[in-house]
Amino acid sequence: MAADESLQAPLNFSGHRHLITRLLLSTLTGRPIRITAIRSSSTNPGLTRHETNFIRLLDAITNGSQIQFSMTGTTLVYRPGLITGSAEGLGASGGVIRHEIPRECAKRGVSWWLIPLCLLSPFSKGNVNVIFHGEGCVTSCTQAGDVSADTVRTALLPLYKSFGIDRSIELRILKRSCAPSPAKSAGGEVQLVFNHQVRLPKTLHLLNPGRVKKIRGVAYCVEVPKTNNERMIFEARGILNKFVPDTYIFSDASPAPLIPTPAQKGTPAQKVKGAVGFGLSLVAESSTGCIYSADVCSPPEGGVPADDIGRQCAYQLLEKISQGGCVESVAAPTILMLMAMGTEDVGRVGLGRDVLATEEVIQLARDSKVFGGSGWGFRDAGEGKEEVVVSVVGRGVGNVGRKVA
């Protein structure tokens, strides 16, 4: 970073909401930020453990970032560096970063780390290869609203193809894990390989949602009978086959991951099994390549039969499709942020009114303007359609570390 850039005044924000989005925009645009009053009125003030863990990940994949906390953790000053990826010699081992998620972060799914990392990866100077592991690494969806790693792999990563980013991208679930109860640990392991970096994402024009032509999914269970998968698949297909005959759901049964425990007085070191459970991830694809997803998992305390999980996931998918638009609520922030970072041209995408009205999308529009982007344009799709066409002008910032496409 140049000397005059490092001395520029930071942008000021307050509150803990949308913290990750602001850190992403800061890293992509190179603008330093200062966030104050982070849970200042709470009985547990300051940054949470999973937020500080994400900042550690940002520090690992960038070079030259400066991060300052106040004594209470209620104020954060972040001056971004260059996104270098998992290059050797920059905190990596053999070109692979092993990022540990501690047990205190088990309330959030691993997708909470994966989705922002996928957004930063195309703008990296080098390849990105990160392995998430630890007692807090949950690969299933969570009650906090995080989607499963399966949904990231099947519903979010394919969207990058619309921006000309489609080579050497892979998400591997090495060890499955479900959301643990307070007395348990997760112990999952996920590897993200993102080896397609670009100078600028292509301009997106996605206005026709088309009709759903096929549905795919993954039913998974961890250390419970495989019949739970069969029951989830049976219930989901019983609902979805009436609408789309081309419905296929894979079944994956995994043992619980073994978590090493340190030796204590009088007891040797041993390995204990992680949390158990089951869940279902469904993805619907339309004739124009639009993707809708649904995700349901058994709660940590149990007590919900597999039939209810399959039925709930199928209805959730139908509800996502009924919202209309070309992009669902989970993927909308990713699509809109890539459009804002792309070439200096007007990109357009059709969104359902319920998707556009979510707090995340509205705040992203405000924050993008604060970071120097142009205001978004809105107009009705017309012809009796319920969608709203969102126009975004790219900033042309792109990848400062990569000189060729």
pLDDT in tens, 22-61: 999 999 999 999 999 999 988 889 999 999 999 999 999 9
Among 279, 299, 323, which residue terminates a domain?
A: 323
| Distance (Å, whole) CA 366 – CA 240 | 38
Q: Which of 150, 182, 124 is nearest to 330 (CA)?
A: 150
Q: How confident is the model at residue 269 (pLDDT cuts 50, 70, 90)?
A: low
Residue 377 lies in a domain: no
pTM of the model: 0.92
321-334 in b/e form (b: 16+ CB < 10 A) is bebbbbbbbbbbbb
Residue 295 lies in a domain: yes
Average pLDDT of the residues of the chain? 89
The reported pLDDT for the residue numbered 90 is 46
Stretch 96-104: mean pLDDT: 93
Residue 160 lies in a domain: no
Q: Select the more confidently predicted residue: 385 or 352.
A: 352
The structural domain count of the chain equals 2
Looking at the chain, the whole-number percentage of residues with pLDDT higher than 70 is 92
Q: Which of 2-6, 133-137, 147-151, 168-172 comes out lowest in average pLDDT? A: 2-6
Q: How confident is the model at residue 4 (pLDDT cuts 50, 70, 90)?
A: very low
Q: Which of 78, 56, 53, 76 is nearest to 65 (CA)?
A: 78
Residue 193 lies in a domain: no
Using only the alpha carbons of the chain, give its radius of gyration: 21
Residue 379: exposure state from Cβ atoms within 10 A (0-12, 13-18, ≥19): exposed
Query: Residue 255's domain is classified under what CATH number?
Result: 3.30.360.20
Among 56, 83, 110, which residue terminates a domain?
A: 83
Residue 74 lies in a domain: yes
Residue 185 lies in a domain: no
The reported pLDDT for the residue numbered 183 is 79
Stretch 176-191: mean pLDDT: 90
Residue 243 lies in a domain: yes
CB 209 within 8 A of CB 290: yes
Q: Which domain holds residue 14?
A: 7-83
CB atoms within 10 A of CB 47: 22
Query: Tokens 């972060």 map to which residue?
Result: 105
Q: Which amino acid is at 135?
A: E
Residue 314 lies in a domain: yes
Q: Is the pLDDT of residue 113 over 80?
A: yes
Pairing of strands 62-63, 82-83: antiparallel
Among 83, 108, 137, which residue terminates a domain?
A: 83
Q: How confident is the model at residue 372 (pLDDT cuts 50, 70, 90)?
A: confident
The reported pLDDT for the residue numbered 6 is 47
